[in-house]
Amino acid sequence: MPFKNGSVKVDMADLESLKENLASYLLKHFKLNSSLIQQGLELNNDDVCSHELARMVNKFVYSKKLNSTHWVAVANNVVKINRFSHQNKAKKNKKPVTASTIRHGW
């Protein structure tokens, strides 16, 4: 059973520009009112629990095609949108060019 202590927060550390979009998405599709805070959004815990909100936020991430760069996690009453930490791999040349050993002497 979820915690009942007031509010559920959505932490959007690196997606500050999408706070208003997420708020309107939650209002339009799920009829949830949210208030903007510095880190993201805040919702009333009586309206939704944190795991249900995580599913809704995950749908938003997929609808904005951010699923290749971001993932959603739940910790206590905070739903956090995290960025994947990809390590750059050195690209290998599939068909390396070998030095020519044949001399054309015509």
- 3-state secondary structure (DSSP) of residue 72: strand
Q: Which of 7, 9, 17, 99 is nearest to 64 (CA)?
A: 17
Phi/psi for 73 (5° steps) reads -135, 155
What is the predicted pLDDT for the residue at 19? Answer: 92
Cβ neighbours of 54 (radius 10 Å):
20
pLDDT tens, position by position, 82-99: 998 876 666 777 776 666
pLDDT tens, position by position, 3-46: 445 789 999 888 888 999 999 999 999 999 999 998 899 998 88
Q: Where are the domains of the chain?
A: 14-83
